[in-house]
Structure 1
Amino acid sequence: MAASAHVSRVRSLYKRILVLHRFLPIDLRALGDQYVKDEFRRNKRASSEEVTSFMTEWEKYKDTLQTQVLQSAGKPLSSVKFGADLSEGKLSNFQDDQIGQLYELMLESTKSSRQFDIQEDSK
């Protein structure tokens, strides 16, 4: 019974995050959706200690994003800042592969939105 309650809690968190992503700019939504899907899939077989940490951090993410979405109501998306800075303390707890993953995420999230513009050649 406890296992089904846990699965339900994980699914609920996962779905809530994807719903909140609907309020992000389209390029961040696509990136965020893919990242969340990959992370939840990758941690399906994690140890109970890892699951506790995983769920805690994703709950914090959901709460932060929910607050930012509510605060952004009625404002143009271009004027809203989503996300939060990571403290040195949190960064020092990351493993090398997590730092690499974070770096890749940072590169993707800070790419110029012009990458999506399609322009005809002037020739």
Structure 2
Amino acid sequence: MSSLEHVSRVRRLYKLIFRVHRALPPELRIMGDNYARDEFKRHKKCNPEEAKIFLNEWTDYAITLAKQMKPLQQVKKKKVGEYMDPQLLDHMTDEQIVQLYELHKAATESTDEDIHLPEKKK
């Protein structure tokens, strides 16, 4: 793949991810947009092998999320995301595991805050 084709593919995928994120609840959209932006910046100068894996994983993510955001799927399942195979952790670097933990912590904190909000008095 030529350099121009690669840049074009990355740009299309990047834009697609942000379009799919528009269907997310606001707090998830902000978190997802920030995470995607950081990841794409972080992998801007990675080697071709890492780039291939990176693009495949983000493409799978965009497809999965787009399917889940369809209105009919929202009515049926009322869920976003899917569980990760724990065996994938064996293939991650320490840095990736820490990053995954931080993402999990941020996601659960916003959920916990939503649940524990005091009720408004009438």
Query: Structure with the greater relative contact order (CA < 8 A, sep ≥ 6): 1 or 2?
Result: 1
Within the alignment, does 1:102 sit opposite 2:109 as a pair? no
TM-score under structure 2 normalisation? Answer: 0.85
Residue type matched to 2:105 in 1?
A: L
Which consecutive residues of structure 1, in runs of 5 or more, have no partner in the other structure? none
CA distance in 2, matches of 1:98, 1:74: 30
CA distance in 2, matches of 1:17, 1:113: 26
What is the correspondence of 1:22-61 to structure 2 with a 5 Å cutoff? 22-61=22-61
Deviation, structure 1 residue 89: 2.2
CA distance in 1, matches of 2:66, 2:88: 21
SS of equivalent to 2:70: helix
CA RMSD of aligned residues (A): 2.5
In terms of fraction of residues, the more helix-rich structure is 2
TM-score under structure 1 normalisation? Answer: 0.84
1:82-120 CA distance string (max 9 Å, x none) = 1111112212111111000000000111122439x7x9x
CA distance in 2, matches of 1:66, 1:106: 21
Of stretches 35-44 and 82-91 in structure 1, the one that deviates more from structure 2 is: 82-91
Deviation, structure 1 residue 72: 4.9
Aligned twin of 1:65: 65
CA distance in 2, matches of 1:86, 1:95: 16
Change (3 A) 1:95 1:72: farther
**Identical aligned residues as a percent:** 40
Runs of 4 or more, structure 1, over 6 Å off, are none
SS of equivalent to 2:80: coil
Deviation, structure 1 residue 47: 0.4
Within the alignment, does 1:90 sit opposite 2:58 as a pair? no
Query: Do 1:22 and 1:29's aligned partners in 2 also have CA atoms closer than 8 Å?
Result: yes
Query: Do 2:68 and 2:74's aligned partners in 1 also have CA atoms closer than 8 Å?
Result: no
Aligned twin of 1:7: 7
How many matched pairs?
A: 117
